[in-house]
Amino acid sequence: MLSNSSRLLTYLNALLYTILGVLLYFLPEQLAPVFAWKVTTFMNMTIGGWCLGNAWLAWMTAYRWQWSLVYSTLIYLWMFGIGELIVLFAFRDKLILVHPIAWLYLITLIVNVVTAVVGVIDWLRIRPALSSDGPRFTAGQSMALVVFILFVGFIGLYGCIAQIGAPGTSGGIFPETMSLFTLRSFGVFYLTLMLAVIPYLWNKDVNAVLHHSIASYGLIVIITVAALIHIRLFDFSTRPGGLLYFGAYFGVGIPLIFAFRKYGFGKVS
């Protein structure tokens, strides 16, 4: 496995994302006007949901700390930090670093990127084994993975390249009009979710994907709760694309409940 330094940094990520997520998620109205860029209350709460989900994922990963089990959640965490920091740099002229919450967001991403750099150096130095003796995917599970990659990958790539005014960017799926800054941040989030599971196309380890699923489940639940709290913003009759927003989370979250009941959360060997 990777070094203790990588593990401690992953725990530090969990702590920072917990603090940031609690503030953004539970004080969205107060903190939205002073966030790092212009966001609405719902956007602010959703970003807080990412942070709380990342906190759970980072803690679960550091706690279990077996490369063949947690490698994909580490890949997600590393890419998320790097991707979101790139977005901040690209829109640095619109970055507002005045309130402590904005600085906390920036510092958390920087620590995340440091964790990624140390982790990659560790991987190059140690080359931990990826092999596992656990069960392998069935054909149906492989198909479900491909559907997830195509669907989430499309959303992520679209969010990274679409311009304001393109279909779905003006309240068509997410119920509020986003700035390009926010759209790119959302796009990177979904793109990293997709890229992190690409290795499962050839490494069909059921235990590893179960770990990835339970570690990522906080993202599904917390972001869905934020959307339900703001469901008044969705107009499904005139903007039915909003159903895709809920459908994406329910479509993944509900089947996983049955998978957890049947297979568990991934065994540490």
pLDDT of residue 133 exceeding 80, the answer is no
Which tens digits make up the pLDDT trace of 62-102? Answer: 999 999 999 999 999 999 999 999 999 999 999 999 999 99
pTM for the predicted model, two decimal places: 0.96
**Mean pLDDT score, 128-153:** 91
Residue 3, H or E segment? none
Whole-angstrom distance, CA of residue 113 vs CA of residue 129: 24
The three-class DSSP label of residue 45 is helix
The three-class DSSP label of residue 166 is coil
Model confidence at 268, in pLDDT bands (50, 70, 90)?
confident
Higher pLDDT, 41 or 133: 41
The three-class DSSP label of residue 98 is coil
pLDDT of residue 9 exceeding 90, the answer is yes
Structural domain boundaries of the chain?
Answer: 4-263
Q: Report in angstroms the alpha-carbon separations of 172 from 4, 80, 166, 236, 249.
A: 45, 25, 10, 10, 17
pLDDT of residue 111 exceeding 80, the answer is yes
Model confidence at 130, in pLDDT bands (50, 70, 90)?
confident
One DSSP character per residue, 62-78 reads HHH--HHHHHHHHHHHH
Within 92-138, residue ranges assigned H as helices are: 100-126
- Arithmetic mean of pLDDT over the chain: 95
Model confidence at 171, in pLDDT bands (50, 70, 90)?
confident
pLDDT of residue 160 exceeding 90, the answer is yes
> What pLDDT, on a 0 to 100 scale, did the predictor assign at position 60?
98
pLDDT of residue 157 exceeding 90, the answer is yes
